[in-house]
Amino acid sequence: MQQRKLGGSGLDVSALGLGCMGMSHGRDVPLEKSEAIALIRSAVEQGVTFFDTAEVYGPFTNEALVGEALEPFKGQVVIATKFANEFDEQGRVIGLNSRPEHIKRAVEGSLKRLRVATIDLLYQHRVDPEVPIEDVAGAVKELVQAGQVRHFGLSEAGAQTIRRAHAVHPVTALQSEYSLWYREPEREILPTLEELGIGFVPFSPLGKGFLTGAIDEHTRFDSADLRHRIPRFSAENRRANRVLVELLAQLAQRRGATSGQVALAWLLAQKPWIVPIPGTRRPERLLENNAAVNVQLTAAELAEIETAAARIEVQGARYPEELERATGL
């Protein structure tokens, strides 16, 4: 697998990472533990060195899963996790909390679950409006100085927040949604990251599976599946948005690739410091996604996608309002 650097930090990772959330969180039932461990270890065998989790996935169970799966590969892989939530005694999320003392307690828990002495990349999962970002960055800086964290990251933060945090402690990476059907980061975020030398880690690079072509208006989602609640995944909007999938399918057919591979190749072609983290629960999809690094789109093909996509208006909000404000998605 090709390697990339996340911005100017010197953090080397595989060109594609693996988002592990769906193995424990956001779907109808968690993946069987043995299957999930086998899938994560298969990713390592295929050259993936970058794995993404968070304390809120489960909650807590996904970090424990990733920690157990990757324990034999210490020093060979990069694990990213996230803080930002307050939990009740039953482990349910009750709100945001990025106070410095809470961050330090969260990191202690993550270190134990991940079975590591140092967290490679620690993100603030969502910006906490009650805590100045300078205080958050200062707390993480202290954790870096203590050897508990190597790199600092933000998730779904705006340009000014990124600048303010970066002025206190260098931000290595921003994780936010970005794909052919959600291109908002192109307006302010990508130019800011390029200016500051910060890497970009797109989550949902396949549009939560939609860009693979495997989902249409007839697909049914379990009530526990996050997509069941997302406006963009209503049957009507799925039908309207199929035009984007058809665009990818046409190019994929010419290239002997899949729609998902073309969608990932498009992301990889945008900037050399972009590292998508597609998630999957299926070994065959893992193989398919990782093969996308071998699909090199030409300038003419990229222009073709750009011209066609400019005529397509994606229908439906990416989240309902209450989830747009929430953390951990």
User: How far is Cα 274 from Cα 272, in angstroms, rounded to an integer?
Assistant: 6
Nearest to 233 by CA among 259, 204, 262: 204
Contact criterion met (CB below 8 Å) for 252 and 261: yes
Helices (H), the chain: 33-45, 61-70, 100-114, 133-145, 159-168, 189-196, 235-255, 259-270, 283-290, 299-310, 321-324
Q: What angle do CA 72, 273, 71 make, to 5 degrees?
A: 10
Question: Nearest Cα to 80, choosing from 153, 148, 138?
Answer: 153
Rounded-to-integer distance, Cα 139 and Cα 289, Å:
36
CA pair distance 262, 282, nearest whole angstrom: 19
Give me the residue label for tokens 């070994």.
Answer: 283
Phi, then psi, of 4 in degrees rounded to 5: -135, 155
In the residue annotation, 182 being an active-site residue is answered as no
Catalytic residue among 57, 123, 178, 182: 57
Prior bond to 278 cis, omega within 30?
no
Collapsing DSSP to helix, strand or coil, 178 comes out as coil
- Assess contact for 244 and 309: CB atoms under 8 A: yes
Query: Catalytic positions, please?
Result: 57
